[in-house]
Every structure is written in structure tokens, then in C-alpha cells.
A and B are shown apart, each in its own frame.
Chain A
């Protein structure tokens, strides 16, 4: 099946710094990728939909200026958490849509962000 990777798998940063998370589709082209956030013992919450070559669509309550999403190629989407604060500490997961596949979306392994 299709493989989605994320990098880094784990990152610790100081408050006020920016962190970039990469999401790659390794063996297929993904015109649409999704970014989710998951707090401890909670379910996945959709943050934004990323379409290659266009601006991302953010869910209500997600600050687009804080969570910058770039989908410049068919195999790479990036999420940059700007001026990170401890409350941004979370598990960030991306997924890629494979049109026509019975498996709606393929998920990356996730990135654990800890902001000190």
C-alpha cells in the first residue's frame, strides 16, 4: 500500500521558536493532504486541508498565521508551527488522499512536538 512518512518523528523546542514538520508521500502523488492534531487521550482533530499548488483550508479555530502549511509539490506538504508555545505541544499527524483507493487516506506515523 501507499506509504506516508513524517519528519521529524519527535521534536523538542523552546517556547517562541518555530518548528517545521514534513509530510511526504513516498510512492504516490498526493494532490490532497490533511493535517491533524491529537492531544493526550483525545481523538484526532482536523486542522487543515492542504491542496497542491493552492492555499490550505483551515478548520474553524485553527490560526492560519500560526500553523503555516505549504504543499509545493505532489509529494510534500509541510506544517510550520510558528512561535510555538507549550500549549502547542501535541501529536501532529498528516494523511494523504489516494483518489480511487478503497483506503480513503494513508496516514503518516505522526510527529510528537514538545514545547518547553
Chain B
């Protein structure tokens, strides 16, 4: 799996958009960008994934740059319940191997 780099922490005001960046400059052509989050003392939760097109679901949007070397996860209207550690993971889809979690970004949503 390609290596990813994320800022260790970020703050966001409640109701505002949270934009979480991820660098993955060594990504291969068949590797997808996955985002998971972990709320304190819970198991990780899948958010979204994409290959090269921007993706949106009920939780978030994923913006991938044209060269695919970086991406941004957008939580459009952050709530206090979005406070969590967000992990950006790059991997070949359905490889059968375990997810490799880096250090992630600790997002604190404040009132």
C-alpha cells in the first residue's frame, strides 16, 4: 500500500465544513483512496472511497486531485459527533489484506 501523510490534528467549528487533507504521492494506478474514522473507544467506521473521480455520499465528499497525489475529505456541516480520528488509507481494492492504519488526523469539532 502507498504511504499517506496527514496532519496530526485539526479543529473545526460546529456547522462549518471540515476539510481533511491527505497526501499520497506514491499512489499506484490501481490503488484507491479510502477514508475511515474512529470515534473514541469505538471500532473504525468506513466513510468513503474513490479511485480518481470525486465521490459523495451521505457522510462526506472525497475530492481527489487530477494527478491523484493528494485528496481531501470534506464533512460539509461538521457536528460535535464528528469529533474523531480520521484515517486516509491507500490500497488496491478487495486485495484481501488487512487495512494498514497510519496515525490519522484527530479532528476536534468545537461548539
Contact = CB atoms under 8 A, between A and B. Distances in A.
Interface in A99-116: 99-100, 102-110, 112
B44 A104 contact: no
Interface string A78-104: 000000000000010101010110111
A32 interface: yes
A28 B104 CA distance: 29
A100 B96 CA distance: 10
A105 B94 contact: no
Contacts, number: 57
B43 interface: yes
A93 B46 CA distance: 15
Interface residues of B, number: 23
Contacts of A6: 43
B68 interface: no
Interface residues of A, number: 26
B103 to A, nearest CB: 5
Given A104-B34, A104-B91, A104-B93, A43 B44 contact: no
Report whether over half of chain A's contact residues are helix, strand or loop; otherwise say mixed: strand
Nearest to B85: A43
B26 interface: no
B98 A49 contact: yes
Interface of B: 34, 38, 41-46, 49, 85, 87, 91, 93-94, 96-104
Interface of A: 4, 6, 32, 34, 36, 43-46, 49, 91, 93, 95, 97, 99-100, 102-110, 112
